[in-house]
Amino acid sequence: MLRSGFRKCSSLRFLLTPSSERQFSAQTGSKLEGKVALITGAASGIGKETARKFINNGAKVVLADIQKDQGHETALELGPNATFIPCDVTKESEISQAVDFTISKHNQLDIMYNNAGIACQTPQSIVDLDLATFDRVMAINVRGVVAGIKHGARVMIPRQRGVILCTASVTGLMGGLSQHTYSISKSGVIGIVKSAASEMCQHGIRINCISPMAIPTPFVIDELKNYYPGVDYEGLVQMVHGFSVLKGAVCEPSDIANAAVFLASDDAKFISGHNLVVDGGFTSFKSLSLPTP
């Protein structure tokens, strides 16, 4: 009886209209079935978790990262639907090659996720800002994103469809959450997405970004170690989780990966030029702590 039911379900799939098939995919956890994605900064952290979620939802993923050993390990861990290619996003030629590699391997690119980025150790005061460091961060966090959008669009425009995603940050929305260089770079990402959306919409291509709250990924923990050298790993994790204002919840890589799956899927087919803030309400209000009488 179970086998008979399974055969009926399998046969039903071929009778579905495109609209009902999207609903069927959503119900079975395959929102990205048949899609191909390229994710930069995918060897660890948010990029790795997003790759995992994409694959679990039916996509094939090319992981691009400057961390070669870790990138190969991540691809092996994620299985046959993951492939790694070394990529330094400060070099436009390597982003272009990553896009071309994806096309040569899978004959299509449906999702371009510009996730690669770095934090930086710079003084808190603008007066002491090291412009050489500023240029390096902008080369990765901003110029690298622009190059990713450029070459993703290059192969998507002829097909008149596709999805481009970028990782921004809540630090690009509010001042004082990070030192100037990082905040400026992430504010730039949000602006780039809004600017590019005006052109991409003419080609049926959606472009959006995600602004996460702080997450205790290796990226964040390594940065905090420089500011709090005497605090151990668990202490740093608790410090990051302490930023949450939503009772009973903390921001995790899976939250950002779930947001990326949503924006990449047909569930978000009418969303473009949007910055999806995943912060548990942190940037939505400022509470007033009144003095006790």
Residues linked to residue 85 through DSSP beta bridges, in sequence order: 64
Does 225 lie in the same domain as 205?
Answer: no
Residue 7: inside a domain? no
Whether residue 153 sits in one domain with residue 41: yes
How far apart (Å, rounded) are the C-alpha atoms in residues 85 and 3?
Answer: 41
In a domain, 10, yes or no: no
Do 239 and 205 lie in a common domain?
no
Total number of residues shown for the chain: 293
Same domain, 239 and 186: no
* pLDDT for the residue numbered 9: 40
Count CA atoms within 13 Å of residue 66 on its CB side. 10
CA-CA-CA-CA torsion sign (173, 175, 177, 180): positive
What does pTM read for this prediction?
0.85
Whether 170 is covered by a domain: the verdict is yes
40 and 65 Cβ atoms separated by less than 8 Å: yes
For residues 140 and 239, state if they share a domain.
no
The verdict on 207 and 115 lying in the same domain is: yes
Q: Check 182, 227, 228, 233 and give the catalytic one.
A: 182
Q: Provide the residue type at 267 as one letter.
A: D
Q: CA-CA distance, 288 to 271, in Å (whole number)?
A: 34
Angle between helices 218-227 and 233-241 (to 10 degrees): 100
Give residue 130's region: left, alpha or beta (phi > 0; psi -120 to 50). beta
Residue 227: active-site member: no
The CATH number covering residue 269 comes to 3.40.50.720
Give me the domain span that covers residue 232: 216-250
pLDDT at 293: 55
pLDDT (tens, 9 = 90+) of the chain, 293 residues, equals 344 443 334 333 334 444 444 444 444 569 999 999 999 999 999 999 999 999 999 999 999 999 999 999 999 999 999 999 999 999 999 999 999 999 999 999 999 999 999 987 777 789 998 999 999 999 999 999 999 999 999 999 999 999 999 999 998 998 888 888 999 999 999 999 999 999 999 999 999 999 998 888 777 787 777 778 888 888 888 888 887 888 888 889 999 999 999 999 999 999 999 999 999 988 888 776 655 55
Task: Please report the pLDDT score of residue 292 as a whole number.
Answer: 58
Look at residue 24 and tell me if it is in a domain: no
- Domain shared by 226 and 258, yes or no: no
CA distance 248 to 254: 16
| Nearest CA-CA partner of 61 in 79, 29, 37 | 37
96-121 pLDDT, tens digit per residue, is 999 999 999 999 999 999 999 998 77
232 and 156 in a common domain: no
Q: State whether 159 and 237 are in the same domain.
A: no
Q: Based on the structure, what is the number of domains in the chain?
A: 2
Same domain (yes/no): 130, 53: yes
- Residue 122 phi, psi (nearest 5): -130, 155
- For residue 25, is it within any domain? no
Q: Are 119 and 190 found together in one domain?
A: yes
The answer to whether 144 and 191 are in contact (CB under 8 A) is no
Residue 188 region by backbone torsions, left for phi larger than 0, else alpha for psi between -120 and 50, else beta? alpha
**Residue 92 CA to chain centroid, in angstroms?**
19
Domain annotation covers residue 150: yes
In a domain, 30, yes or no: no
Shared domain for 143 and 201, answered yes or no, is yes
Specify the pLDDT at position 7: 39
**Within a domain: 16:** no
> How many angstroms separate the CA atoms of 264 and 93, rounded?
25
